[in-house]
């Protein structure tokens, strides 16, 4: 049952990364789009993300509940030492959702629309940045339970070059996902060409951000290169991700929308596998060369068993309605 719970945790984080990341990415796209196409990007991204923008946070909630119930030691460690970036990420989620709602449903179209737009775009960058920064902090060995001063315990545990670079990488991934996903919602060939160009651009931005991550990990003595390239699973993941890039650029050329979306989802999946497989089941690597493991620091056996059954039964009710939500919005657009 433990591995059922771990599987739900991993899958929920992955789904939040690709769906929530794409959701954040539309705000990033807006931020770096010229006046000529800004309204088209706004309208297209709303049609694309509208069906799932609220449902996206379900995956984050599932991950938090799994950690809180099934792995309380890991949950408390993250909550204590990373409480500042966690709060900033949550504030970004709240501000973004509020701005998204008001800019579409405000009855009066006045100067406040500009305020909503700015809040939406800034929070769309801030939220994935701190999400990536938190993820980096769990494996960078900067969390120090023995720290005796505020800066060492609660600032330098996450604010460091490696964390910043992973935060920027997550922002780039989000923009890349969004730029590919909304191509299928474009209404004319000219706009499809524009979005395809954006997707190509953000692909190279992701590559540059990835190089920055490897560079900072080298200077901070984080064995990221070994984690990814030192195991067979990691090597296979990199090969598959590389092959999917070739297929992706073929799909760009031939306007194969479904193939594009599958490729970017596969690439994100392989990045996550390559980065996490080597140190599994350790979830948090601490500064004192100790680790918090999903196996060694689980809750009681009875708790894990009940949690696993709750997740499996809950998915029977949640997932069909989630897919029906997507289907019903797609059918409405077609009509």
Return mean pLDDT, the chain. 87
pTM above 0.85, yes or no: yes
Q: How far apart are CA 290 and CA 163, in angstroms?
A: 19
Range in 128-142, 285-299, 320-334 the model is least confident about: 320-334
Q: What's the pLDDT at 269?
A: 92
| Cis, bond preceding 180 (omega within 30 deg of 0) | no
pLDDT band at 80 (very low <50, low <70, confident <90, very high): very high
**Mean pLDDT along residues 285-313:** 91
Q: b/e for 59-98, b at 16 or more Cβ within 10 A?
A: bbebbbbbbebbbeebbebbeebbeebbebbeebbebbbe
pLDDT recorded at residue 81: 94
- DSSP reduced 3-state for 200: helix
Let me know: does 23 contact 49? Beta carbons within 8 Å.
yes
- The residue with tokens 């090597």 is 235
Task: Report residue 127 as tokens.
Answer: 């939220």
Q: Average pLDDT for residues 163-174, to the nearest whole number?
A: 95
E strands, 193-300, are 282-285, 291-293
Could you tell me the residue ranges of all domains in the chain? Answer: 2-220+300-334
Q: Does position 86 have pLDDT exceeding 90, yes or no? A: yes
d(CA 334, CA 332) in angstroms, rounded, equals 5
Structure tokens at 148: 């005796």
Separation of alpha carbons 69 and 73, rounded Å:
10
Could you give the CA distance from residue 141 to residue 152 in angstroms, rounded to a whole number? 12
- Per-residue pLDDT at 169 exceeds 90: yes
Task: Give the pLDDT score at 53.
Answer: 65
Burial class (CB in 10 A: 0-12, 13-18, 19+), 321: exposed
Residue 206 has pLDDT above 90, yes or no: yes
If you write DSSP's letter for every residue of 219-246 in order, what string do you get?
HTT--HHHHHHSSHHHHHHHHHHHHHHH
pLDDT tens string 181-202 = 888 777 778 888 888 888 999 9
pLDDT beyond 80 at 152: yes
* Confidence at 334, pLDDT banded by 50, 70, 90: very low
Note the pLDDT of residue 50: 63
Biggest CA–CA distance in the chain, Å, is: 63
């Amino acid at each position: 049952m433990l591995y059922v719970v771990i599987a739900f945790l991993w899958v929920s984080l992955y789904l939040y990364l690709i769906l929530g990341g794409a959701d954040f990415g539309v705000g990033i796209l807006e931020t770096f789009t010229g006046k000529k196409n800004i309204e088209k990007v706004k309208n297209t991204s709303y049609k694309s993300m509208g069906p799932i923008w609220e449902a996206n946070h379900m995956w984050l909630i599932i991950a938090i509940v799994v950690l809180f119930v099934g792995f309380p030691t890991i949950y408390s460690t993250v909550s204590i030492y990373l409480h500042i970036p966690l709060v900033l990420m949550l504030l970004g989620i709240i501000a973004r959702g509020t701005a998204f709602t008001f800019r579409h449903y405000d009855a009066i179209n006045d100067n406040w629309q500009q305020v909503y737009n700015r809040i939406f775009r800034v929070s769309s960058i801030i939220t994935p940045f701190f999400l990536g920064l938190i993820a980096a902090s769990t494996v960078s060995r900067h969390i120090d339970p023995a720290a005796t001063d505020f800066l060492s315990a609660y600032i330098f545990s996450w604010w460091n070059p490696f964390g910043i670079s992973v935060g920027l990488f997550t922002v780039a991934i989000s923009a890349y996902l969004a730029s590919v996903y909304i191509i299928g919602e474009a209404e004319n060939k000219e706009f499809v060409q524009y979005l395809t160009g954006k997707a190509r651009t953000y692909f190279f931005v992701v590559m540059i951000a990835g190089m920055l991550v490897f560079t900072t990990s080298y200077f901070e003595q984080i064995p990221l290169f070994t984690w990814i390239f030192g195991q067979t699973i990691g090597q296979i993941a990199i090969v598959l991700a590389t092959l999917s890039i070739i297929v992706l650029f073929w799909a760009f050329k031939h306007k194969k929308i479904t193939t594009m979306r599958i490729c970017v989802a596969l690439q994100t999946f392989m990045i996550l596998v390559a980065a996490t497989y080597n140190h599994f089941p350790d979830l948090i690597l601490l500064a004192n060369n100790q680790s918090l493991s999903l196996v060694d620091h689980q809750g009681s056996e009875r708790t894990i068993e009940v949690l696993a059954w709750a997740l499996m039964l809950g998915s029977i009710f949640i997932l069909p309605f989630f897919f029906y939500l997507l289907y019903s919005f797609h059918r409405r657009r077609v009509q």
